[in-house]
Structure 1
Amino acid sequence: MQITIAEHSAHPLTVSRIGYGTMRLTGPEIWGEPADRPQALEILKTAISSGVNFLDTADYYGEDVTNRLIAEALHPYPQDLVICTKVGATRRPDRSWAPYNKPENLRAGIENNLRTLQQEQIQLVHLRLIGHGPVPLAEQLGAMFAMQREGKILHVGLSNVTRAELEEGLQLGTIATVENMYSYAQRTTVELAYGTNPGGEEVLDLCEQHGIPLIPFFSLIHGLPKAGIKLTEITKKHNATEAQLNIAWLLHKSPWILPIPGTSSLAHLRENLKAADIKLSAEDMAFLG
């Protein structure tokens, strides 16, 4: 199974339908070095050798931890590998999250990602919206598109966006991808300690209409504890875990969804990738709702 990013552009990117999100490779609270650095490097290498060619990262993971791990494990990169990073947020000394979205901040973020990932151009960058600061979306995206014209970015995406923000973004330029929280059990907006997270359900139809891959984040962390008995019943039918069924549900929900389940366990990585083999019937999907 594959999906194409920016399929109508001069530089489309075709990747496997299951990617890997690197956030969980960091220490506690998404900060600091991994508890088991050799395993973290092996996870990245195993993901790629298993057919994954889409990695999601950010320089504020760690800080810079996941970017440095990616470069150490995989550079020089395979030709078909797509590394997606994010800008627009930063971490305070107390490890809280804050907007970092002025044009000069976004440029600094891109330059830092280029340096730590050892790249001359980043294939895909998500503008992460966090909070409702004074910088208008048009000004933020304007800075992103300017760096795209300079060749620092190949494609621009949006992360953590409401339907209205995505509609505005589509009026301002070409949006290649959208990354929102989304899972079987968590489909709509949720309030977390660091702010509001719009759900994937409210933008999925827009993504489908415009041929924009929707990349769900946190699908295994926040969704499964309240998934309910229906998911449990289907796991028994397919002899699978709830995590695998959540990924399978996303894959069957729409051909425009690109899951990026993250883990700090090599065993769980292999388990997650097997979700691509699960075939949910129309009856299964109707039962799950």
Structure 2
Amino acid sequence: MSATITIAPTSAYPLTVNRLGYGTMRLTGPEIWGEPANRPEALQILRTAVELGVNFIDTADYYGEDVTNRLIREALYPYSSDLVICTKVGATRRPDKSWVPFNRPENLRQSIENNLRTLGQEQVQLVHLRLMGQGPVPLEEQLGAMFDMQREGKILHVGLSNVTREQLEAGLALGPIATVENMYSYAQRTSVFSAHGDNPGGEEVLDLCEQHQIPLIPFFSLIHGLPKAGNKIAEIAQKHNATEAQINLAWLLHRSPVILPIPGTSSLAHLRENLQAADIKLSEEDMAYLA
């Protein structure tokens, strides 16, 4: 099991990061809105993650809104040279906390400019275009705007989020797709309906990612499905003296070399626990039992 993964390995600007990242969404207030309940701890989580070797951080300007970007800048700026900050565009939040598409070319440009400003960057290293269902803006138009900003130097690499296999295939036909961020975990491997809409899972696109050396970045990997996972994951957890959440992360790391988990938490203790999952070695027998 490799400890690192390379984003866009065949490009002129590959990015190699350690294979556990950190997702910042849980640093916000309730319903992914507003400031964290414990701001000092949120800042310390970010600093500790980097101190413990995390060099891939996932964020979005619609977390909060703008809360996680501002926390990242306050905690980590000036950024270390090996830190990759990945953000998302294509959605926004209304005052009623609903999630809505924000994916017209002018919207995407506005989001990128906002991310650059709040993160204090001249270029975003990796941006996921989050697809919000079958809206009126064609994928070609959305990705076209992203590739335009990539040519302008505002974006280094373009990824896709919340995509089906067919959408990923369509995206690859339009230009280089560096990464995919989809819902995926041991207990949630295929599409699931959530409050945010129909979320494609990871299994539908994993083999395509492997074919094209595209890292698959699973989100919500610790939230959905573990209580329904049955006894198998609990048995393996007991065998390795680990938690079920740690086994879920270890399973992701062993499942495929292209998977880059980004477990999120608002607890410093849970951050340390999550990162310890990288040290768990699942045997072939373990993985076969968990299949």
Q: Indicate the SS of the match to 2:232.
A: helix
In 2, Cα distance between the equivalents of 1:192 and 1:154?
31
Question: Are residue 78 (structure 1) and residue 80 (structure 2) matched?
Answer: yes
Whole-angstrom distance in 2 between the partners of 1:191 and 1:24: 20
Query: Counterparts of 1:24-35 in structure 2 under 5 Å?
Result: 24-35=26-37
Structure 2 partner of 1:200: 202
What is aligned with 2:157? 155
| 1:144 aligns with one of 138, 146, 165 | 146
Match of 1:8 among 7, 10, 15: 10
Task: Summarize the alignment of residues 78-157 of structure 1 with structure 2, pairs less than 5 Å apart.
Answer: 78-157=80-159
User: Does structure 1 residue 286 correspond to structure 2 residue 271?
Assistant: no
Q: Which residue of 1 aligns with 2:181?
A: 179
Q: 1:261 aligns with which of 263, 266, 272?
A: 263
Task: Return the alpha-carbon distance in structure 2 between the equivalents of residues 241 and 276 of structure 1.
Answer: 13
The CA distance in 2 between the partners of 1:18 and 1:126, in whole Å, is 18
The Cα shift of 1:272 comes to 0.3
Paired residues, number: 289
List alignment gaps of at least 5 residues for structure 1. none
Output the CA distance in 2 between the equivalents of 1:115 and 1:254.
Answer: 35
Q: Aligned to 1:88, what secondary structure does the other structure show? A: strand
Per-residue deviation, 1:24: 0.1
Q: Does 1:58 align with 2:64?
A: no
Normalised TM-score (structure 1) = 1.00
Aligned equivalent of 2:170, options 168, 171, 174 = 168
Q: C-alpha displacement at 1:223, in angstroms?
A: 2.6
Q: Percent same amino acid at aligned positions?
A: 81
- What are the equivalent positions in structure 2 for 1:208-227 lying under 5 Å apart? 208-227=210-229
Q: Match for 1:45 among 39, 44, 47?
A: 47
TM-score (ref. length: structure 2): 0.99
Q: Give 2:274's match in structure 1, choosing from 247, 272, 284.
A: 272
Post-superposition offset of 1:193: 1.3
TM superposition shift of 1:252: 0.2
- Cα distance in structure 2, aligned partners of 1:58 and 1:211: 24
SS at match of 1:170: helix
Measure, in 2, the Cα distance between the counterparts of 1:119 and 1:126. 17
